């Protein structure tokens, strides 16, 4: 089984200086690629000089996460693609459990390791934790992270399990499934495109697993800070894209409910004196309406019987009203 680790880069020399050494040192089982999204700094020259064993893929434009990976992966022949953020530190032998799982479970299409926070290494990372889930309204959450609440890692989620979605910070996917599912949706640009991909992979009846015996550390916000209004825009819009494209039943009700909840979120931003984020939500909805006909066309008629990945109705209700802030407090999540 041949493995390709592909790190997408855009003007990220400082990140490569910090994180690429761990990937080179601890990934002997794989071939490493840096896919450059038309950077304007000297990051490509730095990689060529410092890590000649790392292969460079030069994309012609900066098309964001989705197009960047789509452009890069079409040239590769390895059996497994590992999409790895440039701000991720890997650990010794991190690839062994991932490779072993793929070899033993032939219906597994996607795997993610346990992702901890690079700055607070005993805390789960926002982007993925120990495996991602999604409620009936399209809200993502993780083992170890619900909304802004991050749990300490006390090995409480160290069991391997089937999950709804794997984090784009570190996502291993079979090459054949990546192309069978239709690659990443470039209309997303960035954020939640991995959830869309995972949803489509589920519709093909493959499995997605979290393998916490493999651990990596994610800095987060390497290219776009968590509180940047553009990130708010992309997350709110793309989450609605996910519902329209992938939810089998009650799509109108789910989108309408989300609009109400998004309006409440916008009001919360105003109260917190964050008008740029309020405007980002408005822009997200206008962009969603503009793209709606295209998203409807992308719906597939051959969905399987899975309504969505968990029987959980509303994580918003459980978190904000019932005060269930830890994944271990939730029921019927599988």
**CATH number among 3.90.550.10, 3.30.950.10, 3.40.710.10, 1.20.1250.20, domain 3-218:** 3.90.550.10
Tokens of 296: 């409807």
CA distance 42 to 12: 9
Question: Position of tokens 């890590």?
Answer: 51
Tokens of 199: 């949803």
Cα 45–chain centre separation: 28
CA distances from 292 to 261, 265, 288 (A): 19, 22, 6
CA distance 64 to 188: 9
Please state, as a whole number, how many other Cβ atoms lie within 10 Å of the Cβ of residue 157: 20
CA distance 318 to 181: 32
- 297-318 per-position pLDDT tens digit: 999 765 655 555 566 889 999 9
Q: Which phi-psi region, left, alpha or beta, contains residue 144 (left: φ > 0; alpha: ψ -120 to 50)?
A: left
For 31, phi then psi, to 5°, come to -100, 135
Q: What residues contact residue 50 under an 8 Å CB cut-off, 6+ apart?
A: none
Torsion of CA 284, 290, 64, 113, to 10 degrees: 60
- Any idea where the domains of the chain sit in the sequence? 3-218, 229-329
- 54-113 per-position pLDDT tens digit: 999 999 999 999 999 999 999 899 999 999 999 999 999 999 999 999 999 999 999 999
Tokens of 309: 């990945």
Residue 149 DSSP symbol:
E
How high is the pLDDT of residue 291? 98
For residue 114, which of 214, 181, 226 has the smallest C-alpha distance? Answer: 214
Q: What residues contact residue 67 under an 8 Å CB cut-off, 6+ apart?
A: 59, 61, 184, 186, 189
pLDDT band, residue 252 (cuts 50/70/90): very high
How high is the pLDDT of residue 306? 56
Total residue length of the chain: 334
CA angle 155, 120, 96 (to 5 degrees): 50
In DSSP terms, 113 is beta-bridged to: 211
CA angle 8, 10, 12 (to 5 degrees): 95
Q: What number is the average pLDDT over the span 221-236?
A: 78
How high is the pLDDT of residue 287? 98
How high is the pLDDT of residue 187? 97
For 93, phi then psi, to 5°, come to 65, 20
- For residue 151, what is the enclosing H or E element? none
Residue 98 and residue 114 in contact, taking contact as beta carbons nearer than 8 Å: no
Quick one: what percent of the chain has pLDDT higher than 90?
A: 90
- 133-173 per-position pLDDT tens digit: 999 999 999 999 999 999 999 999 999 999 999 999 999 99
- 113-137 per-position pLDDT tens digit: 999 999 999 999 999 999 999 999 9
């Amino acid at each position: 089984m041949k493995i390709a680790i592909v790190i997408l880069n855009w003007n990220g020399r400082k990140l490569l200086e910090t994180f690429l050494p761990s990937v080179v040192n601890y990934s002997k089982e794989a071939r490493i690629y840096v896919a450059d999204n038309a950077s304007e700094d000297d990051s490509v020259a730095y990689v060529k000089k410092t890590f000649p064993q790392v292969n460079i893929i030069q994309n012609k434009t900066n098309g964001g996460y989705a197009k960047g990976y789509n452009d890069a992966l079409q040239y590769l022949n390895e059996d497994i693609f590992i999409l790895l953020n440039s701000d991720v530190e890997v650990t010794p032998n991190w690839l062994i459990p991932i490779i072993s799982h793929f070899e033993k479970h032939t219906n597994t299409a996607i795997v993610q390791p346990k992702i901890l926070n690079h700055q607070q290494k005993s805390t789960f990372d926002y982007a993925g934790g120990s495996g991602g889930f999604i409620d009936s309204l399209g809200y993502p959450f993780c083992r170890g992270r619900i909304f802004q609440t991050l749990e300490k890692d006390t090995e409480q989620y160290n069991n391997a399990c089937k999950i709804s979605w794997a984090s784009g910070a570190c996502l291993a996917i079979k090459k054949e499934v990546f192309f069978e599912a239709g690659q990443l949706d470039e209309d997303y640009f960035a954020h939640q495109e991995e959830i869309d991909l995972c949803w489509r992979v589920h519709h093909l009846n493959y499995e997605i697993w979290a393998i916490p015996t493999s651990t990596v550390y994610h800095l987060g916000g390497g290219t776009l800070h968590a509180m940047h209004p553009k990130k708010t825009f992309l997350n709110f819009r793309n989450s609605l894209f996910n519902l329209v494209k992938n939810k089998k039943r009650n799509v109108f009700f789910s989108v309408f409910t989300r609009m109400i909840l998004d309006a409440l979120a916008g009001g919360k931003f105003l109260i917190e004196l964050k008008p740029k984020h309020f405007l980002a939500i408005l822009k997200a909805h206008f962009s969603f309406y503009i793209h709606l006909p295209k998203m409807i066309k992308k719906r597939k008629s051959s969905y399987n019987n899975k309504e969505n990945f968990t029987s959980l109705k509303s994580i918003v209700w459980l978190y904000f009203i019932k005060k269930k802030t830890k994944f271990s407090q939730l029921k019927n999540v599988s």
